[in-house]
Amino acid sequence: MNENQRADIAEAAYLITAAWKAEGKFTASAKDAVDLAVGGKVVDFNGKKVPLPPGMDDGDLTDRLKTITGKDIAAQAPGGMVRVGGQDVPVDDLAKALPDSQLVYAAEGAYYVLSGARVVTNVQNKPIVIKVNSNAR
């Protein structure tokens, strides 16, 4: 999640909390307001805060990442290679590493993969997007 997304979510959660208070319905936590603002849960996943798609928890995310194969990534990676930290790596190696990788929110149900501070790209330097549900954009 980048700083702009974080600020937007914080503002939305603040407004949700204010609305609940104004309606006399404030029995929920600030975390509930954040979850409502993102349409799912925000979890710490491999050291990064990431919003999850509605109905998914971090165990579901790990399980889904374990099912992604190099073939699922290949359409984004001409030649079957991705660039991880400046090094070309086969898509199968990236797929195997996904459950232990840090993710960054790209869109609902879709994430970029981080290697250190860099986003994993294809050899043309376009970010690889990992989709974890059928509604991912």
**3-state SS string over 61-127?**
HHHHHHHCCHHHHHCCCHHHEEEECCEEEEHHHHHHHHHHCEEEEEECCEEEEEECCEECEECCCCE
Q: What is the mean pLDDT of residues 36-53?
A: 82
At 89 the pLDDT is 95
Q: Is the pLDDT of residue 134 over 70?
A: no
At 7 the pLDDT is 76
Q: What is the mean pLDDT of residues 36-41?
A: 72
Q: What is the mean pLDDT of residues 58-76?
A: 93
At 4 the pLDDT is 72
At 136 the pLDDT is 55
Q: What is the mean pLDDT of residues 36-46?
A: 79
Question: How confident is residue 65, by pLDDT bands cut at 50, 70 and 90?
Answer: very high
Least confident of 8-22, 53-67, 92-106: 8-22
